[in-house]
Amino acid sequence: MHVGSDSRPPMLWVPWRQAVGEVAYLGIPELELFVEGYLEGWIPDGWVTLIPG
C-alpha cells in the first residue's frame, strides 16, 4: 500500500489489517474489505480507485 503524506512517518512492512488501520483517516470505508478480497484472490489484478466516503 502506498499513501503519500508529509505528516506521517513512512510505513514499513506491517500486517495488512494494521496498515488499513493506520490509514483510516483517509475515510475509505471499503478499504479493509477491498484489501482482504485482493489478497484472497477474489478481486482481480488491475486498476481500482477507492473514493473517500
pLDDT, one tens digit per residue, over 15-28 is 888 888 888 888 99
The pLDDT assigned to 36 comes to 92
Q: What is the mean pLDDT of residues 29-36?
A: 91
- What is the reported pTM? 0.63
**In the chain, what are the domain boundaries?**
1-53
The pLDDT assigned to 45 comes to 82
DSSP-assigned letters across all residues of the chain: -----SSSPPP-S--HHHHHHHTGGG--TTHHHHHHHHHHTSS-SS-------
Q: pLDDT at residue 1 above 60?
A: no
